Structure 1
Amino acid sequence: MGTYVFQLIVIPLFLSLSGWLLLRSPLTQVSRALCGSGKADGFWPRTFLLILLFGPLLATLLFAPPLSSGDFWLDTRRILQWGLVGVLGQLLVMLRVVWLLVVTPQLQKGGVAKAEGGVR
């Protein structure tokens, strides 16, 4: 049982940290573009890190079987499966956040310009 609990924690954290290493550079660029050099500059990197760390862990702890099956590799596969579902979920959440912060204001500016051009 102790090995299973260890697997439940370590495998999702490994997935999270590998995702952070892959996405650190693009997310840093996005956060700099959003904040510039203001006081909120540290907010977005920390938010992205928290989303990356807790997505797979939360999915695994919520949906993985609560008890070990007795087979180490079967347990590892199930935990890895739910961890990858968490990775997909975290990527979708981050995509949505970036979409709302970057694309939506640009669309609103374009919509306002079209409306103003039509009135004149």
Structure 2
Amino acid sequence: MLGGEHEPEGGAHVVLACRSHERGREAVERLRSEVPGARTELRMLDLADLESVRGFAEGWIHDRLDLLVNNAGVAMVPFSRTADGFESSTDTERCSPTCSPSGPTSTSPRNCSEGPMPPG
């Protein structure tokens, strides 16, 4: 699944950050059925909404993040804008995941009003 020490079998605490509570709950149930005793946590996160990203970051209670598997993305969709006014694929793919300079544990999310961070 994830590999080595990061697998639930290795004692990792897995935080599933999901846009849909129902699908997230199903993923947690599937994970727990495949790995009995897995330590899981379901948190809501919509990468197309910077307020959701900030809320997720501000609500992060763990002392560290060892591995991030980012499985969010949009492609080949009609042009649309997010609640923050960004083009939807740019916001979801580039801006929201980089709003915090230190990851989800930062208490000062990057100001994304200027658009996504440049690569690098």
Higher relative contact order (CA 8 A, sep 6+): 1
Q: Please tell me whether Structure 1 or Structure 2 has the larger radius of gyration of its CA atoms.
A: 1
TM-score for both structures, normalised by structure 1: 0.22
Name whichever structure is richer in helix by fraction.
1
TM-score for both structures, normalised by structure 2: 0.22
Name whichever structure is richer in strand by fraction.
2
